[in-house]
């Protein structure tokens, strides 16, 4: 049975979603976060059999990028393609756990214009990081930082309008580092659940790289997750060896790999 987010999502279905999340928080944190915090701005289709969720396609924005997560057993024509059509998506990404990507990749390539593919390592923190800030001041970004925030977002390649920038600063926990009077490095916890925080959106101005600023921000975000009683999760390209080395050094381990497929209509 196909269940859609808005038309068929009753109380029992919400309970089923939260049960699925608690069975594996590191895999289903995006789904739980959207249920709890952005239900009316989120779309998804579910494959439900005998009152159990067998699979789903979940749409959301991952650090500005429209993304659809595929989990479990779904039908491309019944679950994925209607969701894409309903959303009117032209350029977006699909992420699929690597161990099931073989089920869907052929159909995705036949039905959609795939422009690139890469493998991401999902990493989870195993301990509190022991990274010193080294004299840098890490600040929580707020509305007063919006101009600098928009500037560095655009420098990173994201055309962020003021309304969207304000939404992100209010919704996510963004930390930043200022140097020479300007914001030069940023990072965010874009999911904050009792069990899991998800970290992303790390970017450092090209003139201030190789100073360890990204490491400091990721460590500070990880510390705040641990202090809240949660574990931190992040994703990094599997061939980004410097980043993998840093995150491993700060207590992260790879728990899963995902295929990240870029689509352009």
Parse the chain into domains and list their residue ranges: 2-112, 138-257
What average pLDDT does the segment 56-73 reach?
88
At 255, the pLDDT band (50, 70, 90 cuts) reads very high
- Length of the chain measured in residues: 265
Q: Which fold has domain 138-257?
A: Aminopeptidase (3.40.630)
pLDDT tops 70 at residue 1: no
Task: Tell which wins on pLDDT, 130 or 205.
Answer: 205
The pairing of strands 196-204 and 231-237 is: parallel
138-257 shares the fold of 2-112: yes
In which band, very low, low, confident or very high, does the pLDDT at 153 lie, cut at 50, 70 and 90?
A: very high
Distance, in Å, from the CA atom of 95 to the CA atom of 76, rounded to the nearest integer, reads 14
Q: Give, in words, the CATH class of 2-112.
A: alpha beta
The pLDDT of residue 67 is 94
Output the pTM of the full model: 0.90
> Which of the residue ranges 61-65, 90-94, 171-175 would you say has the lowest mean pLDDT?
61-65
Task: Please give the Cα distance from 257 to 261 (Å, whole number).
Answer: 13
The pLDDT assigned to 6 comes to: 64
Distance of CA 206 to the CA centre of its chain: 23
Asked whether the predicted pLDDT for residue 132 surpasses 90, the reply is no
């Amino acid at each position: 049975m196909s269940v859609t987010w808005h038309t068929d999502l009753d109380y029992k279905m919400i309970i089923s979603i939260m049960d699925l999340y608690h069975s594996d928080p590191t895999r289903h944190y995006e789904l739980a976060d959207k249920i709890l915090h952005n239900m009316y701005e989120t779309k998804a289709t579910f494959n439900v059999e005998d009152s159990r969720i067998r699979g789903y396609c979940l749409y959301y924005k991952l650090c500005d990028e429209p993304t659809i997560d595929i989990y479990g057993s779904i039908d491309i024509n019944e679950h994925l393609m209607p969701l894409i059509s309903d959303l009117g998506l032209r350029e977006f990404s699909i992420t699929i756990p690597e161990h099931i990507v073989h089920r869907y990749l052929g159909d995705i390539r036949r039905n959609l214009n795939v422009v690139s593919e890469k493998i991401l390592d999902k990493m989870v923190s195993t301990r509190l990081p022991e990274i010193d800030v080294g004299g840098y001041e890490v600040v929580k970004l707020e509305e007063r930082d919006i101009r600098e925030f928009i500037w560095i977002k655009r420098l990173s390649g994201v055309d962020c309008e003021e309304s969207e920038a304000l939404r992100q600063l209010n919704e996510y926990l963004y930390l930043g580092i200022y140097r020479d009077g300007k914001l030069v490095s940023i990072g965010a916890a874009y999911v904050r659940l009792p069990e899991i925080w998800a970290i992303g959106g790390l970017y450092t101005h090209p003139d201030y790289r190789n100073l360890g600023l990204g490491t400091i921000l990721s460590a500070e975000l990880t510390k705040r997750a641990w202090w809240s009683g949660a574990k931190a999760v992040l994703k990094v390209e599997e061939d980004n060896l410097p980043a993998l080395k840093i995150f491993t050094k700060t207590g992260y381990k790879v728990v899963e790999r995902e295929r990240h497929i870029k689509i352009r209509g």
